Amino acid sequence: MSALPPLVEPAAELTKEEVARYSRHLIIPDVGVNGQKRLKNAKVLVIGAGGLGSPALLYLAAAGVGTLGIVDFDVVDESNLQRQVIHGQSDVGKLKAASAQESIAEINPLVKVHLHTDRLDSSNALEIFEQYDLIVDGTDNFATRYLVNDAAVLLGKPYVWGSIFRFEGQVSVFWEDAPNGKGLNYRDLYPEPPPPGMVPSCAEGGVLGVLCASIGSIMVTEAIKLLTGIGEPLLGRLISYDALDMKYREVKIRKDPDTPKITELIDYEAFCGVVSDEAAQAASGSTITPAELKAKFDSGENFALIDVREPHEYEIVNIKGATLIPKDRILSGEALAELPQDKPIVLHCKSGARSAEALAALHAAGFKDATHLGGGVLAWAKQIDPSLPTY
């Protein structure tokens, strides 16, 4: 497959200042003045000003994309700074979108920036997407990925998708209405979301900071190719990158004839099930607060506190008196014999999702009075023991 037609018409002119600023683009014959004028005229929406959004926004701005939209309702946290390079120490506590806008102004004051600081959902996605030529999706959860895909399909817009986890990343381009019958969308690759709790998020599993730069820069490269109509885009191809082995692999994606036609936006949280039905049911009525857990300790109650995180997480921070039994050993049944039968069990994880899954397994195995700590060790550190580090 060769280049697609350019997505954007060229702007009328480049100013003297723009010619000087973009000279290294202008002397590449494939980009040239015409390509740079297309970038100037382009409107690109970046979903998320986090790990992937940071390098994407910085390089789209530096490249001279005339209008950038940023969708992000979150605020900068210190744990973001290891990879989200658009933010700095002085931005902690600021809206990520506003912090990103300031960095963009510093890199290229000629770029117009629009901020969308409401949570993206089915009620506002179409209205926001309509204003842009191309979407760059750097989100880290399945509910938003399916929402972005379906909104892009309904509006006939192309989007560049990337994802990262630990040392691995993936990038592709989805465009249902691509010319020459080449169109496909994210549901052709992933018809259904994985079961809740199956795929850990970056907050649970971690990510090598610099991986964001590798994947984010590929995403921007694809965006520039689509906007200017040069090169061979990643439409129908997925690039998978393994940083530890330093290997790139390419996987072909084909249109799946069984992919249902997208006709409307749905409830994506329900579609993806943030936690499984079993976990939600188990947690209902069997969740205790950090204050209630502290009261158990203070009164000298005889109970077993079980930490269901991974050993490396336990090393970072743990609640004194907790026994480490990772969730997978409970779900497989392997660790059930290690649990006390003669006293109540309280489970906890980082934020409450994994302990809810483990709780469902314990209830099913007959430990009917088992409970779990709502909000996990993060809530404990915040509400009860601020001396503990968080991660």
**Known catalytic membership, residue 202:** yes
Q: Walk me through the domains of the chain, giving residue ranges and CATH numbers.
A: 16-272 (3.40.50.720), 277-383 (3.40.250.10)
User: pLDDT digit of tens for each residue in the chain (391 aa)?
Assistant: 568 999 999 999 999 999 999 999 999 999 999 999 999 999 999 999 999 999 999 999 999 999 999 999 999 999 999 999 999 999 999 999 999 999 999 999 999 999 999 999 999 999 999 999 999 999 999 999 999 999 999 999 999 999 999 999 999 999 999 998 889 999 999 998 887 666 777 777 889 999 999 999 999 999 999 999 999 999 999 999 999 999 999 999 999 898 899 999 998 887 887 677 788 888 888 999 999 999 999 999 999 999 999 999 999 999 999 999 999 999 999 999 999 999 999 999 998 989 999 999 999 999 999 999 999 999 999 999 999 998 8
Q: Provide the 10 A C-beta neighbour count for residue 347.
A: 31
Residue 274 confidence (pLDDT): 65
pTM for the complete prediction?
0.84
Q: Provide the 10 A C-beta neighbour count for residue 169.
A: 26
Closest CA to 42 of 18, 73, 83, 11: 11
Catalytic: which of 8, 49, 202, 283? 202
| The token pair that represents 3 in the structure block | 């280049």
| The token pair that represents 271 in the structure block | 């579609």
Q: 21 Cβ partners below 8 Å, 6+ apart?
A: 64, 108, 110
Q: How far apart are CA 169 and CA 211, in angstroms?
A: 7
The partner residues of 333 in beta bridges, in order of sequence, read: none
Q: 5 Cβ partners below 8 Å, 6+ apart?
A: 179, 229
End-to-end CA distance of the chain: 44
Q: Provide the 10 A C-beta neighbour count for residue 168.
A: 17
Q: Provide the 10 A C-beta neighbour count for residue 388.
A: 16
Contact between residue 205 and residue 166 where contact means Cβ atoms under 8 Å apart: yes
Q: How far apart are CA 165 and CA 194, in angstroms?
A: 15
> Which amino acid, one-letter code, is at 16?
K
* Chain CA centroid to CA 48, Å: 8
The partner residues of 248 in beta bridges, in order of sequence, read: 241
Catalytic: which of 42, 349, 359, 381? 349
| The token pair that represents 91 in the structure block | 């931005």
Length of the chain: 391
| The token pair that represents 305 in the structure block | 């506190």
Burial bucket for residue 277 (CB in 10 Å: 0-12, 13-18, 19+): exposed
Closest CA to 117 of 66, 57, 69, 65: 69
**Known catalytic membership, residue 272:** no
